[in-house]
Structure 1
């Protein structure tokens, strides 16, 4: 096979299994469905049952006579609560098994620590995701459906726990070609329970699923390697999100893309200089708007501005090999805000204001056109900046986006 034919075959395979297309089509990865607390999660539909929450939520759940839970599962929870009652501030978990008419089921109980952290959320969603992602069902390595009880002592905590469960469930596993290629038609179920009763308004099944779906979209974008998600494909992904919001939700979505040398011509000196060395995939400013077509000049708006550095080498202030690991995630801020924008639009959480998403996309790479230490560049605001560290690119692109 000659080199040209080999290249064409590789290109066809890349198009066929393009993760960006998979993301937009939403046909890959474990599907999650959310149930109200009164609905039963049957063991027959799930090979593994996860019970997740802080100790006081686990204890309240175990003593709730209205819970529709198999006796074997509830027995496991009660045993765990009695054994771990004195360690509510620490994370702990146990794995047990329950036998029923359909066979043996695994029961995993995860106790989330109650102590506060810099994440500043009482439900500790960071600990929920960190604990669950270690299991193959959440890491995209197991196609079997699973069930989750997402518990919170308060309604808000239950809602946050459910979102963290969704965050842990990977849409794709980049270490497994099989997982990337195979559609998963099964649906795993999450029961949202709180001692206060049903979760608040957002906890209604439809809205919660929309929010979690966008959390998972943001996570997948952040996890994509740069040879798959560069500024060009990232822009296409944002265009796809805009199209979905228009077509499926009838939203008034505007889209503007300023790319490459057009950034320089329009005065976006910060974003242009950071990304201009990557000539294959130039920098771009991507703006989404909702409800802006009829807005008046004096109307107040909500603007989400995200750092979209698809890879950060540090520029001429080159990072070490260890410091460069993980820099594909330097666009995570923009991915999170893109997901937030889509969730706000889909749930109609903002109806009386214009909503904007601004993605400042660039690759901070090295080349003949790299910006240098000592360069003085003019920002979109009109201010000038002297560069003393090319590895401080984030503030440059965000300054142009905010301006």
Structure 2
């Protein structure tokens, strides 16, 4: 027989080997932490780059330039019964050119060019002044209104004299007039309240996000009212009451598959089911909410089931041992303890629904809707579809408003998520 090999390592050698092993392990842990910090740093860099670019492009939409001009309310040109039919822009242009001593030609070329610097809002504000006080006819009054979108871009530095003539709509003569108005103090820069108080408009200087914000809010109310009760109820039944078998397994597989279905498929389903078959109003928050509720249901069901599974079995056993029924155990003990997880799934699904665009385009929310919706059946737009419409608009001024609408959408999402997180913390329990 062979004798066992004696341990030839001395105590000092064993200590040295142990120290080298510990050093290598600590080095691996240090590298892992470094990789994690690098990953977080790269993600934060991309996030800051994205937000910085959006803010850089959209911050100019939050302030606007407006003009204050004296207007002689010519009795010969103003219809007392219908003042809004008066061409106040033409009147202001002609009077302004006359004060500057500019003579126009027979075709009114210079008058037309000057009119292009004034927003149509001037007409509505001047007409409102006449309706409220007809005695102003025959007097010279001061009217304040936004400048046109191209004039606003010039004052913001987006259009300059160095810009090639084929890439701008403001001529050198119009720029000279704008410089004169600024020099005379007729133009002032103020916070753009119209961005938050107006609906969509074909004129960029008058376009606002209020209609889209209200439409998104109504749509999410419909989504939450349908998806949350149905999703939580389905998850509770599947996890706590249903018998395990082939049918249950088939339902679970289909729910998991529905969570991965592209959103545009839900849009096609909404068109076929809710619009063509049920004849619900097109481009309404009701249809949009129904489509988004179908999208949100799988996420809510999966998250709720995971939250129910995370509740310790001892909670159920203790409740049943004290004489509680199965229903009482679930709804009085298990579900309240799972509520933070349920709210987490709700937050994820609602945030996902708020940012969806493809299904909304298919159900008609891409159409131009200038008003503010007052019910879930009224036609409206939504913030994602408004971003899509403005980004594809030909007017350059809409591009800065696109970035501003994205910032409003992000703020909407942050407020909604913050409210849900506060509710989740209120229901949170530790065991």
| TM-score range normalised by the length of the shorter chain | under 0.3
**Higher fraction of helix:** 2
Structure number with the bigger relative contact order (C-alpha 8 A, sep ≥ 6) is 2
- Length-normalised TM-score, structure 2: 0.26
**Higher fraction of strand:** 1
- Length-normalised TM-score, structure 1: 0.28
Larger Cα-atom Rg: 2
